[in-house]
Structure 1
């Protein structure tokens, strides 16, 4: 795929009209200040989604909604809620997202009172890696709290945690960006944000410290009957470990909290320091995950046509968490620095654990890196390692086919490929797009029908009609 770059965000739909033509809307899952969230089912693939229905007349800050959508579009991480589709009609905007039916971390804490150190460390590590990924991509969240962390499924104890709600997020040019807006949720807001002075990405690290304190004790470090009293305690950094709940908590866990809840952001831990803290390492559970990667799928991917790789990336971007649980755990275990991508050394170290793989690491990196970023993103990893039993399901492939068949004609044209892939900034001449079609156009009519599409994905050549 030399000179060819496709991003996962290209497959996030943007549609006008009645959302019910594509989705069945079911029961309401939640009702908030900015709209309702409904259970939805995609009519073609039967995939279950969460659909956020936002009345246009309630949108007071349209730039924040635009940022929320853009952040979710570019995010590609196992611990961040996926955005699949955006719909708009005369009265509403709909965000079609990954359905996380395990509930909020907030409710889990209330139910259990407080968590064991091992469970807390596992969940906190997931939060840190998701946030580290966002910061590496110049996104600051600014509203981290247990209510914005969802379990993908039940039971919560065996479910991954997903970061959501980017309504107050900021997409910056770089991590040195200085912000001044006084926003956030009182218990979790950093002292420099309260002060109304300039602050940076470190405000999220403070919120992480508050969350870790709550995970281990069941109550917030800065409590007061009024907002002004809460803010007064936050500004002073006045908290302690005196209550009985802390008697059984290790000194290492307390040390990490002390390093995060530092009033001066210049002296506060960075995310990299938090991720490498001994308490996190001592409770880490994914370092020895076996690399049960389907060698046939990986080899087949490296030998695939350009279009087949694009389609596999599309399918991977639409997969639910339960489809790819094993691959998620493998990816996280290979991502040793916790930045949400695989570097060449990380890929090399991980693949070294598969002695039967007969392909050079350099070639593997080049073939897997579909967006030419120099790193392997999560969806790229899934696309290249998915078992055929996942992507060869006909309803899943037909759903992917419809992503490319924009006009619903039952065929994919070069202009439709161009429309989808060029919207993310990838521009090529007409000969290039026609060449993609020709790779799989067995009947030579200049388009790809679903029969040819299936043949391409099964890696079988079809006889011309």
Structure 2
């Protein structure tokens, strides 16, 4: 966050709409545009492992990044046959602004003469609907439902509406007990400040809210969809009668929810009341995500890994001495990020995020730290300054990752060569400037001195030592 490449060019989206990508390392926030590294072939950066499937937008692949060996999911979009340019740039631009552990992460984009490629984090746990068939009781499922509403709460506070929330877009990071929920499928997502009509034929009708059929939608429309998902998974049924599309739309528009089947009768009273509070015709009468997260049904879901005194002390003391070091360390965490590795940090983040808004405030730090016997009232401004790199007034998930990463472990030689492109152990400073932007030349001059650069090249060993010495743990 805040470490964008400086050599970017803006290219407007042409008509007919196709995604436009131009060369750079990291994205800027510009409307109707995409940015990417220009390659001759995707195989310069990634080894394609297998195809996952195709849709109207393009083809999804599992791919291994050549340098780091980390598995990612890559979407390939043909420049000349795809007509889904608007959806592509919309998903890309929205996801690069979201930073939450329960929302799919986007890493980078590439352009070749024939295709565009967008790189996402790899999720392997299948859909929540598939997982629910293996869960033993409601309490296990409520954990994932809590993560779903936490992610929606964050999205809505960032001014984003998903617009097409349904079971296939609610997936799990891994197939083990440490899996965390991820919302995907943002091709129809919209900014509240820039809403456009929804094309009904592009959404899952069964999960759409009544107002959507009148070309009206708000954050409460997402909440309705989440309520239908809960009903569907808990009861193994749909809340509206099966039949033609017209019949389904009519039932939804009249809010004719089936509460009299055996599936609904079998769930707990708390779950019934939760669903009934959501599936209300008037959007204004539906609870917000913040209100829903206080529902007693989520009690077991709020159990997280507690913040200890030593961990609180580590966070309070953490400091990165230079902007260059901070941006390079952020780059390392993004390149080596995997779902399994992030699991513990995600739970620590949830322990600090007391109001489930997807970010950590000054008051939340004071509250949680005081509970473990650490009074940081005099140091809180120092802590926030050290961790809140984008000066938003809050600590975001990615910002907390920097403080909680085990840097002595991450900054080993074997990891450095997985992250940074080198030639015979030497790294070009021009290459590092592509990764780190908006840095004064005076800072680069000091960097050259501290890393003992020669002929604009530094050794991996010297870069590693520089980064270690830049961190105050």
Query: Cα–Cα, structure 1 residues 366 and 439, in superposed 2: closer, same or farther, change >3 Å?
Result: farther
- Matched position secondary structure for 2:392: coil
434-443 or 366-375, which moves further after superposition?
434-443
Which residue is 2:181 aligned to?
161
Which residue is 1:308 aligned to?
325
Which residue is 1:78 aligned to?
101
Query: Cα–Cα, structure 1 residues 250 and 436, in superposed 2: closer, same or farther, change >3 Å?
Result: farther
1:151 equivalent among 139, 151, 172: 172
Mapped partners of 2:171, 2:462: distance in 1:
40
Which residue is 2:238 aligned to?
220
User: How many residue pairs are counted as aligned between the two chains?
Assistant: 440
Matched, 1:55 2:70: no
Matched, 1:238 2:260: no
Mapped partners of 2:111, 2:195: distance in 1:
33
Mapped partners of 1:292, 1:220: distance in 2:
47
Matched, 1:266 2:284: yes
29-38 or 353-362, which moves further after superposition?
353-362
Which residue is 2:269 aligned to?
251
Q: 2:451 touches 2:466 (CA, 8 Å); kept in 1?
A: no
1:132 equivalent among 144, 147, 153: 153
Mapped partners of 2:317, 2:449: distance in 1:
16
Which residue is 2:48 aligned to?
25
Residue 171 of structure 1: how far off its partner (Å): 2.8
Query: Cα–Cα, structure 1 residues 449 and 299, in superposed 2: closer, same or farther, change >3 Å?
Result: farther
1:188 equivalent among 207, 216, 228: 207
Q: Pairwise mapping of residues 66-465 of structure 1 onto structure 2 (< 5 A)?
A: 66-109=89-132, 111-112=133-134, 116-155=137-176, 157-173=177-193, 179-183=196-200, 184-196=203-215, 198-280=216-298, 282-287=299-304, 289-291=306-308, 298=315, 301-302=318-319, 304-318=321-335, 319-355=337-373, 360-388=379-407, 390-402=409-421, 410-413=427-430, 417=433, 419-422=434-437, 427=438, 429-431=440-442, 433-434=443-444, 437-438=447-448, 440-443=450-453, 448-459=458-469
Mapped partners of 1:172, 1:215: distance in 2:
28
- Matched position secondary structure for 2:450: coil
- Matched position secondary structure for 2:83: coil
Mapped partners of 1:288, 1:115: distance in 2:
22
Query: Cα–Cα, structure 1 residues 34 and 99, in superposed 2: closer, same or farther, change >3 Å?
Result: same
- Matched position secondary structure for 2:420: helix
Mapped partners of 1:460, 1:134: distance in 2:
34
Query: Cα–Cα, structure 1 residues 82 and 208, in superposed 2: closer, same or farther, change >3 Å?
Result: same
- Matched position secondary structure for 1:410: strand
Residue 25 of structure 1: how far off its partner (Å): 0.5
2:60 equivalent among 31, 37, 47: 37
Residue 222 of structure 1: how far off its partner (Å): 1.8
Query: Cα–Cα, structure 1 residues 136 and 271, in superposed 2: closer, same or farther, change >3 Å?
Result: same
Structure 1, residues 182-220: CA drift from partner, whole Å, max 9, x if none?
442111111111123x32222111101111111211112
Provide the aligned C-alpha RMSD in A.
Answer: 3.1
Query: Cα–Cα, structure 1 residues 313 and 30, in superposed 2: closer, same or farther, change >3 Å?
Result: same
Residue 304 of structure 1: how far off its partner (Å): 3.1
Query: Cα–Cα, structure 1 residues 392 and 70, in superposed 2: closer, same or farther, change >3 Å?
Result: same
Q: 1:10 touches 1:421 (CA, 8 Å); kept in 2?
A: no
Mapped partners of 2:449, 2:286: distance in 1:
54
Structure 1, residues 18-40: CA drift from partner, whole Å, max 9, x if none?
11011110122233232222111
Residue 343 of structure 1: how far off its partner (Å): 0.6
366-375 or 52-61, which moves further after superposition?
52-61
Q: 1:262 touches 1:268 (CA, 8 Å); kept in 2?
A: yes
Mapped partners of 1:32, 1:232: distance in 2:
29
Mapped partners of 1:340, 1:437: distance in 2:
34
Q: 2:413 touches 2:461 (CA, 8 Å); kept in 1?
A: no
Structure 1, residues 328-361: CA drift from partner, whole Å, max 9, x if none?
1110121111111101111222333555798923
Mapped partners of 1:11, 1:395: distance in 2:
25
Structure 1, residues 400-457: CA drift from partner, whole Å, max 9, x if none?
434xx8xx982224x953x5455xxxx56544x5356357333476664423211112
- Matched position secondary structure for 1:26: strand
- Matched position secondary structure for 1:375: coil
- Matched position secondary structure for 1:67: helix
Mapped partners of 2:3, 2:367: distance in 1:
26
Query: Cα–Cα, structure 1 residues 165 and 97, in superposed 2: closer, same or farther, change >3 Å?
Result: same
Q: TM-score, normalised by structure 2?
A: 0.84
